[in-house]
Amino acid sequence: MTFVSIRDLKVSFDGVQVLHGIDLDVDRGAAVGLVGESGCGKSVTWLAALGLLPGKASVSGSVVVDGQQLIGTQRASVESVRGGKIAMIFQDPSSSLNPVRTVGRQIGESLTLHRGLDRRAGRIEAIRLLDMVGIPDAGRRVDLYPHEFSGGQCQRVMIAMALAGEPDLLIADEPTTALDATIQAQILDLLGMLRRETGMAMVFISHDLGAVGAICDDINVMYAGNIVESGGIDQMFAHPRHPYTRGLFDAIPRLDGARNRLIPINGTVPDPRHMPTGCAFAPRCAKASAFCNSARPPLKPQKDGRQLACCYPMIGSGDVADVSPEMVPA
């Protein structure tokens, strides 16, 4: 059952379009990953959907959460969804927390706002939440300030705060990027555990394909404000079809096997003010032809269930049935 349905979401800043029509569905209880290089619009998609972009951004399209339209509606109705039905956590936990209030009071604020708990009940619930996200000695530490927690623990506090409104969907925007490897493993484990226990849906935004793979069932690959490929995690990891997805995998150094030269994606993400005509990835793509520069390929459903926006997709290894003739231009 679809919980969030985004249709043709477009965003521009000062007349420069940065999102070119995103269609995305998140089912109840699903875990969806959003990957791509920085500047591809991963975060902007969800900031726009939740009305968190600055005033100079113009947003169009439709975002329906549980039957309720969010784009172009009253601020109050968006606020009832934000934090209550959908919560978001960010990359840098220490800048998201208020340094002069105890973590217990900050979590309590969410509890008062979304669940109407008074201060006493809020404190008890805050301790339960801190305990749930793995803060040791929660009963005592609820009265401490953010600077008394380490980076990994601050991220746990942020997660506890996000859980305070009992959301149906948690959006995690690069939640482990700023953390050390062993702490990253702990937080990924925690997010997986919370998903199993609460049944909430999760959107995981990251540039780390390994981390996304550990959490998500489906992934969407974004490039220059478009979704270029999406599908189930297993098929996407086994046979990436879009040359960009393939490039992202190839660029990751391996932890086993030979230490070969890495295969980078040449060039950089295009400037949104000077977007190439046609496929935005064509200037960096080894498979591109003149045809790719003429028109932007639309995101089309494929026979194997995934969606793909490419005229010359990679052929799945040893999988002849994978070639879809309708995608080859006449």
Binding site for other proteins (CB under 8 A): 37-38, 136, 150-153, 180-186, 188-189, 192, 207-211, 213-215, 237-238, 247-249, 251-256, 259, 261-266, 268
Instruction: Give strand pairing partners of 17.
Output: 12
Closer to other proteins by CB, 52 or 185: give it.
Answer: 185
Minimum gap (Å) between residue 54 Cβ and other proteins: 21
- Tokens coding 16: 């420069």
Ordered strands of the 218-223 beta sheet: 86-89, 169-173, 201-205, 31-35, 218-223, 226-232, 307-308, 300-301
Minimum gap (Å) between residue 128 Cβ and other proteins: 21
Residue type, 162: A
Query: Rounded to whole angstroms, how far apart are CA atoms 175 and 43?
Result: 12
Closer to other proteins by CB, 110 or 245: give it.
Answer: 245
Chain-centre distance for alpha carbon 211: 12
Closer to other proteins by CB, 8 or 250: give it.
Answer: 250
Minimum gap (Å) between residue 5 Cβ and other proteins: 28
Minimum gap (Å) between residue 316 Cβ and other proteins: 15
Name the pairing type of β-strands 86-89 and 169-173: parallel
Closer to other proteins by CB, 77 or 266: give it.
Answer: 266
Minimum gap (Å) between residue 223 Cβ and other proteins: 11
User: Could you tell me if 59 and 48 are in contact, meaning their C-beta atoms sit under 8 angstroms apart?
Assistant: yes
